[in-house]
Structure 1
Amino acid sequence: MPVSRNRIGALVLFGVMSLTLTALAFPAMVGLEDKPDDQARVVAATQWGPLTEADRDFVVKVRSAGLWEYPLGELAMARGSSAEMKEAGEHLVVGHAGLDVMCRDIAPKLGITLPNRASPQQREFVETVESKSGKEFDVTAVTIMRVTHGQIFPAIANIRASTKNTLVRQLADLANDTVLDHITVLEKTSLVDYDEVSFMQTAPAKNRRDYVTPPPPQPGEPMVVLTPRPDLDVNTGGPTPPLPSATSSPPPSASSSAGASPSATPSAPVG
């Protein structure tokens, strides 16, 4: 029997409403709609090549991502209800520790100040997941992580293709490998709803700049270090070629830095 036009319309409306209501259960996922016009502006001339606004923002965002995804990985390891969920947590912890090693190595060379706290939006992500339990915990964590990783993936490619700075290019290489690894292990949980993820990634939203921007560290504040976890035998990145010789020693390769994992350990003060 052919389905009536009214019936089709009702089904479509129900589907759209379901996606909308589900999206409202999470903090706003989309960043600033209007990007600054000065992203190509060169802010520093370095021995590794010019550093642009976009390059500097990228390093800060990679650092900021680890400040919330590492704690979320620890939560998944402790409270995930399946082996696949716990494995995803391990990959989040190890991957962002490795990225953090590189961020902390290159930031002082490039004159970049790194944050010690994630943005208010990112902290809200963690609080949202932490408030759940059981299967709802798994689904919430996977959905938020899959959406945010899907959003950052093309941004990494854009930086990799456009930057003229060798250190930023190295970080983009490792970030690309790490994010792809994280997307893969999240999908292995079989909890990704691709229609929902697509809707949440593309839904128009404008967030206040202070909501999506990590706060700067206070003068003299100890730097938070995402500490290595050699007990986790996880590889999240491909090999990274050595940095060109310069006055400073190169950062560790992906294979050595990937073993690092983040915990809130104070290190040297931030200037």
Structure 2
Amino acid sequence: MRLSWNVAGAFVVGGAVSLALVAFVYPGTLGAGAASTSHDTVIAQTQWGPLTESDRDFVVKVRAAGLWEYPVGQMGLQKGTSKAVVVASQHLVDGHSALDTTCRKIAPMLNITLPNVASPQQQGFVFTLTADNGEQFDTDFANILRMTHGSIFNTVAKIRSTTKNTLVRALADQANDTVLDHITVMEKTGLVDFEQTLAKQTAPPTLPASDVTPPPPAFGQPTVVLAPPPRATSTPVDIDAISTGGAAPGSVLPTG
């Protein structure tokens, strides 16, 4: 297994160096005016409850996650050499297409600008996996994705337990289920190096904002859509029902 950490804290995998792991980070300035000093600051009062900087950044983080994990899942369907990696890839495509649908639904309702491109750090992960082949792809795939999902898991829980916004809470419910599912399928590959993975996700190095920030979309650029697979099993949250009071937060669209 070619998996190591250099002295600067960069992630070294498959013989290539990508940016260090700080999953789904996005600045508080996107989609709003001046950044405040506290992510608990309410930036808007909406009919679904107050929206804080943390709430807004969480929606953007979920969107940014899909912008690199969805194509990596598609890559794994083609390059994975084990059944477990192929199954994990199917879960990535399926789960992030459903999360993306929810993000794209609630973002305009909450006046949140979504990126169309992942951050340079996240694009570095894609670059590493693009260069990999064979068993090295399987190993790097499982470890990179296990680390990124492990890093965001506590963030999802914090948003779910603190947000006062019904729409953000519903997205957090969906994200919690999806992230846990993706952690599980990565572990089932049998390729995860837990010692290094857990150490890195609990003490990630600090990166400059430019490395962990997905760029805002160009003015007038259509929103990128992460299309669900033909036999999707994950479903987006039924935001219409929640927003009109017809269903409890966390309800999902019927699969049939």
Mean Cα deviation higher: 187-196 or 165-174: 187-196
CA contact (8 A) 1:64 1:118 kept: yes
CA contact (8 A) 2:171 2:237 kept: no
Q: Give the structure 2 partner of residue 198 of structure 1.
A: 198
Q: Give the structure 1 partner of residue 119 of structure 2.
A: 119
Q: Give the structure 1 partner of residue 12 of structure 2.
A: 24
Q: Give the structure 2 partner of residue 262 of structure 1.
A: none
CA contact (8 A) 1:116 1:216 kept: yes
CA 252–179 in structure 1, closer or farther in 2 if over 3 Å, else same? closer
SS of alignment partner, residue 87 of structure 2: helix
Q: Give the structure 2 partner of residue 92 of structure 1.
A: 92
CA contact (8 A) 2:20 2:204 kept: no
SS of alignment partner, residue 161 of structure 1: helix
CA 230–113 in structure 1, closer or farther in 2 if over 3 Å, else same? same
Deviation at 1:230, TM superposition (A): 2.6
- Equivalent positions of 1:6-85 (< 5 A) are 19-21=4-6, 23-25=11-13, 26-30=18-22, 37-85=37-85
Q: Give the structure 1 partner of residue 244 of structure 2.
A: 245
The answer to whether residue 151 in structure 2 is matched with residue 151 in structure 1 is yes
Post-superposition CA distance 1:104-152 (Å, at most 9, x none): 1000000001110011111111001111110100111111100000000
Tell me how far apart the structure 1 counterparts of residues 45 and 204 of structure 2 sit (CA, whole Å).
36
Tell me how far apart the structure 1 counterparts of residues 79 and 193 of structure 2 sit (CA, whole Å).
21
SS of alignment partner, residue 222 of structure 1: coil
Aligned residues: 237
CA contact (8 A) 1:66 1:97 kept: yes
Tell me how far apart the structure 1 counterparts of residues 239 and 150 of structure 2 sit (CA, whole Å).
22
Percent identity of equivalent pairs? 50
CA contact (8 A) 1:156 1:172 kept: yes
Q: Give the structure 2 partner of residue 163 of structure 1.
A: 163
Deviation at 1:235, TM superposition (A): 4.2
Letter matched to residue 41 of structure 2 = R
Looking at CA atoms only, which structure, 1 or 2, has the larger radius of gyration?
1
CA contact (8 A) 2:173 2:250 kept: no
Q: Give the structure 2 partner of residue 266 of structure 1.
A: none
Q: Give the structure 2 partner of residue 207 of structure 1.
A: 207
CA contact (8 A) 1:68 1:126 kept: yes
Deviation at 1:171, TM superposition (A): 0.2
Deviation at 1:207, TM superposition (A): 0.5
Residue segments in structure 2 that go unaligned for 5+ positions in a row: 29-35
Q: Which runs of 4+ in 1 moved over 6 A?
A: 236-241, 248-252
Structure with the larger helix share: 1
Tell me how far apart the structure 1 counterparts of residues 55 and 4 of structure 2 sit (CA, whole Å).
35
Post-superposition CA distance 1:133-184 (Å, at most 9, x none): 1010011111110000000000000000110000000000000000001011
Tell me how far apart the structure 1 counterparts of residues 92 and 171 of structure 2 sit (CA, whole Å).
17
- Equivalent positions of 1:99-110 (< 5 A) are 99-110=99-110
Question: TM-score, normalised to structure 2's length?
Answer: 0.84
Tell me how far apart the structure 2 counterparts of residues 148 and 236 of structure 1 sit (CA, whole Å).
22
